[in-house]
Amino acid sequence: MRTDFALVLTAALLLDSFPRNNGEHASRGPCRPGFSQSFYSVLISRDVLQGQGIRKVKFDDCVGNEAVVFQSSDPIFGVRPDGSIVAQGEGASLDEPVQFKLTASGPSAHVWETVVQLALIDPPSLLQNGNEVTEEEGKVAERKEASQAPPPVIVFSGSSPNSSRGLRRQKRDWVIPPINVAENSRGPFPQMLVSIRSDQDKDISIRYSITGVGADQPPNEVFNIDPVIGKMFVTKPLDREHRSSYHLRAHAVDMNGNQVENPIDLYIFVIDMNDNRPEFKNQVYNGSVDEGSKPGTYVMHVSAFDGDDNTTANGMVRYRILSQTPHSPIPNMFTINSETGDIVTVAPGLDREKVSQYTIIVQATDMEGNLNFGLSNTATAIITVSDINDNPPMLTSRTFSGEVPENRVDLAVANLTAIDADQPHSPNWNAIYRIISGDPSGHFTIRTDPVTNDGIVTVVKPVDFEMNRAFMLTVVVSNQAHLASGIQSSLQSTAGVTISVQDVNEPPYFPTNPKHIRFEEGVPAGTSLTTFSASDPDRLQMQQTIRYSKLNDPADWLSINRTNGQIVTTAMLDRESVYVKNNIYEATFLAADNGSPPASGTGTLQIYLIDINDNPPALIPRESQICERVNKNVHGVNITAADADTDPNAGPFVFELPNFPSSIRRNWTISRISGNYARLGLRYQIYLEPGVYEVPVIVSDSGNPPLSNRSVIKVKVCPCDEHGDCTTLGAVAAAGLGTGAIISILICIIILLCMVLLFVVWIKRREKERHTKQLLIDPEDDVRDNILKYDEEGGGEEDQDYDLSQLQQPDSLEHIISKPPGVRRVDERPIIPESQYPIRPVVPHPGDIGDFIHEGLRAADNDPTAPPYDSLLVFDYEGSGSTAGSVSSLNSSSTGDQDYDYLNDWGPRFKKLADMAVVAAGDVSADFR
């Protein structure tokens, strides 16, 4: 017994409502490559002959279907290049339904696929099948037969896994057609789709299940199946725009989970509903069209997208124009292609100067434009009318006039105005002015003002009143862009311009400027060189008088006659002067008239000075040196000459020794090297003492007549080393000093250095003594402005009625520390640590007083506890605990005279003290007290 799946189509309503030729609607939208349908179901007669065409599938790759290759997965059925399905072998009788896949591939790597189902119009399996056919299945079969639809029960190829039958030819199975479900269904849910049943459910208990996207894969539980009775349901509304199809697999297992049937594939297609209105890509579209365009001119393109299936009427969008603003010249200036969305002109009369912009409301409607059932949306199309040069420029007047002073350039003399109706500041509006006659010499040009578009006539070459008193110009104006086809230039594009020339007083001018003349140098003063006269351009006016003057004469060699311009020399012309450059002397003269206002012009006179032999040559060099022994003098002295003149009044030169004094020719000789060089040397076996010798040399040039010059060269004769160079002693000896003189000079230098050294030592010693004895200086010897008194001790004990206890060290410092900060009394002990001074003998030696004071100063400077320099220092506190008694109790113990002469031995600083000690002993005791 065959074990197969039987698919019972319990939802016959869906089959009846599904259009058979779904997908065969011709899409008139943009081309999409591929098969026209994703599934073909074909019913054919019982007997199919070999090679007979069955059905032609539609395919388009949008590039002409060139090199497209079709392939079939079933070897019995093939596909011709035109897409026709044919039977190729035996066994094509189609006793059972056949399903196979068709592929199409082109030059690109993309491959398109479709499924083809072939079935007989009267399938025998329904009559010969041993399985039980239910009443419901019979009704479905009758309905399908009546509508020529595939049978509801399909037998798949292959046996069940439990079948033990041997190998046999397998039968072709019924092909399961797609299950169609309308999107956005309102339910109720779950909604039954199909019922799946195995013919083995009579013998064993079967459990059914489905797998795939929408069942056990996300999105889960969109479809489910009753595991006992095999009914499959959809649980929620479907959205084709989210997912257009589902591929599920149905399984049948026993109670132990063993597979009893091979799985079958279920294809569920979501039927599109018109639930999306067209959406324009942009709400505002901008386009342009030239004015004057002919009907049918392309303007712009608008497009809308519909999310529904574009192979059905739900997604087929059609366009139309709702309104046009403005309605000039007619309300319908444009039309739109209902399928492509291309907007074109439909009527002539576009004129930018009248209407520069149109606003069009475009409506897109699906359902192939059916306004009753379709959904619509609108967008705005703004069409700008582009300017073309259909308006030639026109001058506002037939004649224009202006005036220009003579001899002026870059001056605006006239202003031309033109009007143009085209778009301002565009090539169709920009004006170009040209002078077509009246100015053969090119004195004038016309430039365009970029803002106003006016033409400004400008003089570019000076005009002469005496040559032309007026110009009659013919001017034509045109645009930067050429006129549009069929547009002719206007007669108002041409006008006449009259330019009057104003006469002005022009300055005199020198016809030949600069003027060149040639003269020999050395011409005497008062020589007339030439007449340098000027001309007055204002010859048509009253005769004017020209006066001449000198403007620039660097050497002050020339003068000019004020009335006729005759040039006369005032000094001799010298070509060798620093004012002459390249043999040319240049002077500038001024010519002025007596017009109103006066005018003047300048002229330059260039005098080329011809050289004469007026400069003798000069010897070069004027000093040199030579070895005292001729055998060491290899080359001698090379001499030449310099001449301020030029050829032929310069070299070659002739060098000679004079005849007097005779010692010159006896000791020296001159040999010729070249035309301008000679060699001066000592004669052979002549020895001269080292020294400087003045050698006269006579040099003559090649002028006619030649000029000579007696020059003296100082030659230093000195002893030389093996290389022929003067030695150091030799150079000194050659300067005129002997060996004894050189030794004397060296001894004097040494003595002078010793004296300087002794003087420095004496200065250092004196400075040291001054620092040592600078303590006790007699006040009379002190040159400073200070008065120092050291012998003022008060009036004695009678005047000392103050309390001396203040000078003693107090036993406690609490009363001082407890005082508030501020100014303290000078008789108080400062609150600072006592500096630790070195212990010195009780009676210091008088010579140590200075050292004692300096050591005290250093200790005070280095004491970190000492107050700053600008603070009050207390010197009258001597500490406590002195072992000496009061000075007031001292009495003189001497009864006779005491010798104080030893005070004179202490130096001049104690002279004052010695003078005071000569008084009587009684007086001295009183003074010390």
* DSSP code string of 461-525: S---TTT-SEEEEEEEEEESSPPPTTPPPPGGGEEEEEEEEEP--PPPB-SSSSEEEEEETTPPT
pLDDT over 90 (residue 366): yes
**Residues 484-515: tens digit of each pLDDT:** 888 888 878 999 999 999 888 888 889 888 99
Average pLDDT estimate for 439-455? 93
How many other C-beta atoms lie within 10 A of the C-beta of residue 153?
25
Residue 119 token pair: 């079935």
Would you state the pLDDT for residue 833? 52
The mean pLDDT value of the chain amounts to 77
Token duo for residue 904: 């004179």
Q: Is the pLDDT at 110 greater than 70, yes or no? A: yes
Counting every residue written for the chain, the total comes to: 929
6 Cα distance to chain centroid = 80
- Per-residue pLDDT band for 922 (boundaries 50, 70, 90) equals very low
Output 654 or 865, whichever has higher pLDDT.
654
Convert the pLDDT of each residue in 865-905 to its tens digit.
666 655 555 555 555 555 555 555 545 444 455 666 677 77
Residue 778 pLDDT > 90: no
pLDDT of residue 172: 39
Decide: helix, strand or coil at residue 25.
Answer: coil
Q: Report the distance separating Cα 43 and Cα 477, nearest Å.
A: 81
Q: Could you report the per-residue pLDDT of 279-304, keeping only the tens digit for each?
A: 999 999 999 999 999 999 999 999 99
| d(C-alpha 142, C-alpha 149), whole Å | 10
* 733 touches 718 (CB < 8 A): yes
913 against 822, higher pLDDT: 913
Show the tokens assigned to 517. Answer: 């003349």
* Structure-model confidence comparison of residues 782 and 240, the more confident one: 240
- Give per-residue pLDDT as tens, 704-715: 888 888 888 888
Which residue did the predictor score with more confidence, 637 or 870? Answer: 637
Q: Of 857, 809, 811, nearest to 829 (Cα)?
A: 809
- What is the spatial distance between Cα 435 and Cα 446, in angstroms, rounded to a whole number? 8
Tally the C-alpha atoms within 13 A of residue 696's C-alpha that lie toward its C-beta.
12
Give the global pTM.
0.45
Hey, which bits of 254-356 come out as E strands?
264-271, 279-280, 284-290, 298-301, 304-305, 318-325, 334-336, 342-345
Could you tell me the pLDDT band of residue 472, with boundaries at 50, 70 and 90?
Answer: very high
SS3 40: strand
